[in-house]
Structure formats: C-alpha cells, structure tokens
Amino acid sequence: MSRNDDPIKTLQAVFGYPAFRGRQAEIIGQLLGGGDALVLMPTGGGKSLCYQLPSLLRPGCGIVISPLIALMQDQVAALRQYGVRAAALNSAIGLREAREVESALLAGELDLLYVAPERLLTPGFLALLERARIALFAIDEAHCVSQWGHDFRPEYLQLGVLHERFAGVPRVALTATADPLTREEIVERLALHSAQVFVSSFDRPNIRYTIVDRKEARQQLLRFIRDEHAGQAGVVYCLSRRKVDETAQWLADQGIDAIAYHAGMSTTDRERNQARFQREEAVVVVATIAFGMGIDKPDVRFVAHFDLPKSIEGYYQETGRAGRDGLPADAWMAYGMTDVVQQRRMIDESEADETHKRVSGAKLDALLGLCETAGCRRVRLLEYFGELSTACGNCDNCLFPPSTWDATDAARKALSCIYRTGQRFGVLHLIDVLLGRETGRVRRWNHAQLSVFGIGADLAEAQWRNVFRQLVALGFARVDHTAHGALKLTPASRPVLRAEQSVQMRRDLREKPVSKKSRRKSLFAGLTASASVAAGAAPAALSGSDQGVSEQLLQDLRAWRLAESREQSVPAYVILHDATLVQIAAQLPQSLEQLALVQGIGERKLERYGEKIMALVRGAHP
Ligand code: ADP
Ligand code: ZN
C-alpha cells in the first residue's frame, strides 16, 4: 500500500476519504510533531482517525488503550480491511495468539495495537513496551478516569504511568464527554498538562430531533419504527429492566427483530445480544442506559427514548449513538406527565444528599425545557453545552413549527382545582374534577360540591393532561412524591391564580407523519450531502431527491456485502459502509478508477472488492 509522509495522501490512499473532518488535520499535526493532545469530539465525529493516521505515519506501533474489549475485534477487523496491520490484546485472546502479537510488536510488524487497560498495566507488558518502538499512546474513552461519571474504570487512574515511563512518546486522550469538570479530571489524572486541547462543535447535523406527546406509547413507537425505519438498526431506551423486557417482547410480537439488553441479564445473554446488534443490519435493541459506550456501529438509524432520560447530557450521549456514518438519523422521544412524576420521585426518594438532589432537579428542569420548547431543539441542546447556534431546519419544531395558545384561563382553572382539592391529588383525579365526572373518589371526597367541579368541560381530557404537564414543566406547579404524586402550588402559581400573569403554552406535541418515501429519499440525498456533513456544514440537501440512485443495484450490493461479511465473519459495515454502497449506486462508476473515487474505497478495498463491485454495477446497468 502506498503510504507517504503526507497525512492527506495517506488518508485518501488507505481509507479512501477525500478530506479531513473538523479538526482532524490539526490534531494529527500535533501528534506528528511529537506533542500531546486532548480531543473532545462528539460521538461519530471521527476520533479514531486522529490516532490511526499518525500511527501509520510515525515510526513504530500506535498503542490504543480502550475499555471496550467486546469491540476491539471488530475494530481490528475493520482496520485490516484497509490493509492496516492491527491487532488486539485482551482477556478474550488466547495465550498463543498473545505471544504472536507480542513478537509482531517487537519485530516492528504492527501499525496499531489495541489493549485493555488492565493488560497494559501489568509489569510484564510495560516491560515489553519498553523494548518496542512506540508511535504514540491513544487513550480512548478518556472520561473513564472520572470518578463521578458512570463509566468510571479504576485502572484508568493508573494510566499516568505512561507519562513517567515513556516520556518522549506523544499521548492523545479522546472522549465524547463535553463537560468542563470531566475535562479537568482527564488533564489532571493523565498528566496531560502540556497537551493541546481540541474542542469540536458538538453539533450532529445529520440527527433529526423529535419529541412527541405520549398518548398510546407502544403504538406510537411501533409506527415510528415501521413507517420510518423498517429494516434498520436502532436502539430504544427505557428506564427500567422490566420495561425493557416487556417492550422488547412486545415489539418482537409485532414482527420487529427486537432484543433486550440490561444489567440484570446474564453476561452471556448480554454479550450475545450486543454482538447480534453490532453485526447484523436490522436489529432493534431495547435497553437501559447500561447499553452504551460499547456501541460502535456506524449505521444505527435511530435512537428512541421510550422514557424521559435523566438529563440533557444523558439524552445527548444516548442520541449521539445514531448516525455515526453521517447519514440522516432520528432521535425520537415520547414524553408525558408520568415521566415527570416518575423522575421527580426518583430524585426525591434517592439516598443522595440535598446538593445532589438539587443538581438532579435542575438537570431535569433543563430537560423539560427542551421537551416543552416551541423553538429549535438543536439550538436549545447546543446552548446547554455552551454553543450558540441558529435554527437548524432539521428538528420537529423547525420543520413543523408548533403553534402556541393563550392558556391563561386553563392554567387558572387547573391551579384553582389543585388548591380547592387541598393540594393532595394527582393529575388523574384533578382532571376528573375539572371535567365534572362523578367517580368513586369524587363522591368519597365530596368534590362535586366544589366550585371547580365541571368548570373544565371546554377542554378534552388529553388537553388537560397537556396543560398540567406544561404547568409542571414551566414551574407553575410541582409534583410532591412524599404525597403520592400530588400536585402542589409553587410561588409562581400565585400571579397566575390572581390573573396577574398570562400563560402561553404550545399546542399538543403532535406526531408528525413523515412518509416513508420522503425519509428514504432523504437517506439517499444525505449521501450526496455527506461531503458537506463531513466538512462540518449543515446538510442542506438532507431532503433533496433520490434521483439517480439505483434501488436494484443497492439491493444487489447489500446482498453481496452480507454474503461477504458472513464468509469472513465480520460485521457488514466492516466490509463497506452504507454510505459507500449508496454512493456507488448513485454514481454508477464505469471503471476501477472511478470506483476508487467513491468515499470509503481505499487502495486495499479496491484491490480486494473492486472487480466484484464492478460486475454488480455492470449487471444492474449493462
Ligand atoms: P467517533 O470515534 O468519534 O465516534 P469514528 O472514529 O468511529 O467516530 O468515526 C465515525 C465515522 O466517520 C466512521 O464511520 C468513520 O469512518 C467516518 N469518518 C471519520 N473521519 C472521516 C473523514 N475524514 N471523512 C469521511 N469519513 C470519516
Ligand atoms: Zn431546529
């Protein structure tokens, strides 16, 4: 393979990508110059190339420290497809193979070596490294040093040793965790004080954010998956293990290839399900947040939140697992009053101290603000991470601007109802009273006698639910868990009750039916736009037309890829990414030279698959 000192030429020759993304070129330059780097980039931003390329260009082998043993094999397989000499060392690898890898390292026959931190830290391995030539150390998922995050790995704390023992070797730490506190911890614990820090925009322009009002949750989820993502891979996040199991089963009963993942399952079951998701093309995983860091699949087309996440950080990290390949992807959430009640209860009833509860409460409020906003979701999200932006054109609110209504009168009625019933009842009963329903509970508490009984007949039950939810989200009422989810007034309730303040609310969050056809179109169009996505620009052409994409050829290519991946027992995307297949089907290359220009076709892949691909192109378009 042709490698030379020029990073861009190596990028093109080996990986078949025309240009660097974002700050990749700068980061690579820093490492090639022998300096250290701290890289903060969103998931899917392209962190791996930042250490892979310098490992190819610097003398010696790049050592990549990663906690994700389950993924190492796939990463190594993907690199080998590009002709890179890569290997992994971890507990899943047998003694003999480990010896072979070690001698290849000493003989200078490796470009990249992935190791688990516990392996790296053994005295034997450190001694071996001292005898080898090392291009750089890459510490992936560097936020694992943070004792406050839920990905904490104690071994990561000892990685400072690299600085002491291999002083001259450049080190790069990489993470998708954005907050400043974690960043400081990484610098401190990994002794990266002199590292240059590279912060990328955390925007993921190819992800479309949608938040719908939960009505009949399962049906909504099913429709979303069937109408917009049939036959595609996705993740559905639920809060509890039980809900994970039930939802996975239910989806499976509806004919979706859905499987469960949560920490309560046996390791074997978990690993099997993760491997199926990773390797097959159209598996839907229903999971708790335990399913997370280990997902390295580029073609996850949607992430759905069936329950409200705990914070915007969590939401963003989870949704970030969609669309790593830069193609259009969906982040979809169903949200309702019960979520707010449940989350508040979890905070109130937790063992945490008051400060912690206050912080959790504030995080929940920020998330509710995102759910209720009538403005651009992306602007809200990025603002939360300290980035200013303008309306994105690729979220539900931008695409289908919600209308607002003057809810002053409704808010007053609702708050009076809370007050008159003694601030002791939950939403269901309050709505019964407003609608004038003679339920058992109404009779028991004599609530038909109250002045508020039946004053809400002008709105339907669903509208009242919406009003109460927004009242809580906007801070005009609060949920008290020490009293079984009873709604209470807040200081902000007063001016509304006294008609001194008006209240605007957004209309029902509607499901926005987007036809299957238009979504497919946008997937194709996204490809032609992927160059601009790669350059960090907004994918303006996300809803363009799919003219010129040969569906037949695409199918043929996928079938061939599947057969190839089975034969080699690697995931399909390791052979070629979707993006590459669609580009071939759109451009119909007429020669190997033209095929070489398609993104993702490096020299090695051209050599290995070029003729087969050309035969398929010619077959479909003689
Ligand atoms: P991260 O580790 O930051 O989540 P990856 O390194 O897995 O992201 O990269 C995400 C995707 O982007 C991969 O499919 C990768 O091949 C692709 N990619 C990375 N850099 C480029 C580039 N310069 N041009 C085109 N595609 C790229
Ligand atoms: Zn928007």
Whether the predicted pLDDT of 541 surpasses 60 = no
110 residue type, one letter: L
Cβ of residue 44 lying under 6 Å from some atom of ligand 1: yes
| CB-proximal residues (5 Å) to ion ligand 2 | 376, 378, 392, 395, 398
Whether the predicted pLDDT of 521 surpasses 50 = no
Give pLDDT tens digits for 261-300.
999 999 999 989 998 998 888 899 999 988 877 778 889 9
Angle at 607 between CA 548 and CA 54, to 5 degrees: 95
Q: Quickly count: other Cβ atoms within 10 Å of residue 88's Cβ.
A: 25
CA 391–ligand 2 middle distance (angstroms): 5
Confidence of residue 241 (pLDDT cuts 50, 70, 90): very high
d(CA 303, CA 235): 5
All structural domains of the chain, each given as residue ranges with its CATH number in brackets, are 7-199 (3.40.50.300), 207-399 (3.40.50.300), 404-506 (1.10.10.10), 516-620 (1.10.150.80)
Cβ of residue 22 lying under 6 Å from some atom of ligand 1: no
Residue with CA at minimum distance from ligand 1 atom 19: 46
pLDDT at res. 517: 46
d(CA 336, CA 307): 9
Tell which residue, 533, 514, 513, 536, has the closest CA to residue 525: 533
Whether the predicted pLDDT of 550 surpasses 90 = no
Whether the predicted pLDDT of 520 surpasses 70 = no
Cβ of residue 7 lying under 6 Å from some atom of ligand 1: no
pLDDT at res. 591: 95
Whether the predicted pLDDT of 515 surpasses 60 = no
Whether the predicted pLDDT of 133 surpasses 70 = yes
Owner of token pair 């970030």: 320
Among the ranges given (2-6, 328-332, 448-452), the one the predictor scored with the smallest mean pLDDT: 2-6
Nearest-ligand number for the alpha carbon of 535? 1
What mean pLDDT comes out for the span 443-452? Answer: 95
Give pLDDT tens digits for 148-178.
777 889 999 999 999 999 999 999 999 987 6
- Closest ligand 1 atom to residue 48 Cα is 6
pLDDT at res. 3: 55
Tell which residue, 458, 459, 438, 460, has the closest CA to residue 450: 438
pLDDT at res. 311: 87
Burial 591-615 (b: 16+ CB within 10 A, else e): eeeebbebbbbbbbbbeebbeebbe
Cβ of residue 41 lying under 6 Å from some atom of ligand 1: yes
Q: What single-letter DSSP state applies at residue 15?
A: I
Give pLDDT tens digits for 404-416.
889 999 999 999 9
Pick 417 or 151 by higher pLDDT. Answer: 417
Give the chain's end-to-end CA distance (angstroms, integer): 32
pLDDT at res. 430: 96
What average pLDDT does the structure give for the chain? Answer: 88
CA 509–ligand 2 middle distance (angstroms): 15
pLDDT at res. 473: 81
- Whole-model pTM: value is 0.79
What mean pLDDT comes out for the span 591-617? Answer: 95
Whether the predicted pLDDT of 1 surpasses 80 = no
Among the ranges given (330-334, 538-542, 597-601), the one the predictor scored with the smallest mean pLDDT: 538-542
- Burial class of 276 by CB neighbour count within 10 A (0 to 12, 13 to 18, 19+): middle
Cβ of residue 578 lying under 6 Å from some atom of ligand 1: no
| In contact, 302 and 221? CB cutoff 8 Å | no
pLDDT at res. 291: 86
Cβ of residue 23 lying under 6 Å from some atom of ligand 1: no
Tell which residue, 11, 389, 18, has the closest CA to residue 205: 389
Cβ of residue 66 lying under 6 Å from some atom of ligand 1: no
Q: What does the radius of gyration of the chain's CA atoms come to, in whole angstroms?
A: 27
89 residue type, one letter: L
d(CA 403, CA 27): 45
CA 20–ligand 1 middle distance (angstroms): 10
pLDDT at res. 328: 94
d(CA 172, CA 197): 10
- Closest ligand 1 atom to residue 296 Cα is 7
